[in-house]
Amino acid sequence: MKKVRRIIAVILALTLLLFSVSFAAFAEDSAEENLLTVMSYNVSGLPVVGAFQGSDYLPGPIKATALGKLLNNVEADIIGVQEDFNFHANLAAEMTNFPFKTFTSGPIPLGDGLNIFSKMPVYNIERNTWEKRSGVFKGATDELTPKGFLYSVVEIAEGVYIDFYVLHADAGGDDGSVAARRDNYRQLVEHINGRTHDRALIVLGDFNARIRDEKTDMLNLLIFPAGLTETWVELCNDGQYVPEPVFEEYEIGESIDKVMFKNGGGVEFEPVSIDMFKVLNENGGSYTDHHATRVVLSYTVTDNTSAPDELVEPTPHDTGFIAMLKAIFTALKLILGDLGNLF
């Protein structure tokens, strides 16, 4: 009888051991499957001018429709877009593979051109206009739209939430534009550091500067104070933020369209790959003057994630006649006040 008990005990022990090994292997495989692909893309949705950006000319609505069809088949989980101004409806109508979308904030001069197309639920939309913008006729025309950053919460897996930012920084290389862009970064840092929760985040968009831009000083004004990790630096520059990289040595050069992240709230990200490409049609033509930046991130859920107290689904923005009229009146005042820089 004792021998039978010993044999049973050995069988049970071996079974538990095999189960533990199998479970560990399964857990390891599951961890490898925790991948998130995010993309930043400036879609050149400007009236008139946007039709000429990229290699192929198309009128705005037709171009947005064609671009939407191409983006709909891009391998990505979340796409954050900039300059999605006047033709959002055409773009969004084609992106059926991305069921979770933000509503447009309107055409120029009402809207900020920032939107999200996602395969994962998006909540708690908050649009923030830059406190400092520069340019009507001088530099870029940043003052004619409420450019800024869009904040949201995305559920990347069941019960796993991250903060997700899309931004479009002030453009232009003149002193006023550089000062505004530096202030944009300051404002974003304050928002990130002012959060009352420790949730992991991703911030992507058109930063209108590279790390080597000493005047803008992205490292000391944004990346370091906000505790961000820049994916191009991690993957293409061996994680070395200083000294200045020799950009010509890299097959993938640094872009102004960036993806950064910050770990926290039970979610740990690790960059896996980065590629920069133009979304091309069947003839090899492009519809924007930007490359898309796409990054694959692996993530591990290490603890209970920091869930929001409340989840609010996106709602339509006020793009009605009165709102548009106010925006036009504000833009006209800026234009009249800046006529001196036109000549």
- Quick check: is 13 in a domain? no
Where helices occur in the chain by DSSP H, the ranges are 2-32, 60-71, 88-94, 175-193, 218, 224-226, 231-236, 321-337
**pLDDT for 158 beyond 90:** yes
Confidence band, pLDDT 50/70/90 cuts, at residue 38 = very high
**pLDDT for 307 beyond 90:** no
| Range in 93-102, 109-118, 153-162, 278-287 with the lowest mean pLDDT | 278-287
- Quick check: is 1 in a domain? no
Domain with 302 in it: what CATH number? 3.60.10.10
- Quick check: is 320 in a domain? yes
How many domains, the chain?
Answer: 1
**pLDDT for 18 beyond 50:** no
Q: Is the peptide bond before 225 cis (omega within 30 degrees of 0)?
A: no
Q: Which residue carries 């006020």 as its tokens?
A: 318
- Quick check: is 139 in a domain? yes
**pLDDT for 49 beyond 70:** no
- Quick check: is 305 in a domain? yes
- Quick check: is 242 in a domain? yes
Q: In 3D, which of 169, 83, 186, 164 has the Cα closest to residue 133? A: 169
- Quick check: is 7 in a domain? no
Residue span of the structural domain in which 216 resides: 34-341
**pLDDT for 266 beyond 80:** yes
What gap in Å lies between CA 164 and CA 36, rounded to an integer? Answer: 12
- Quick check: is 25 in a domain? no
Judged by phi (left if over 0) then psi (alpha if -120 to 50, else beta), residue 254 lies in beta
Pull the structure tokens for residue 322.
Answer: 């009165």
pTM: 0.87
Average pLDDT over residues 89-110: 95
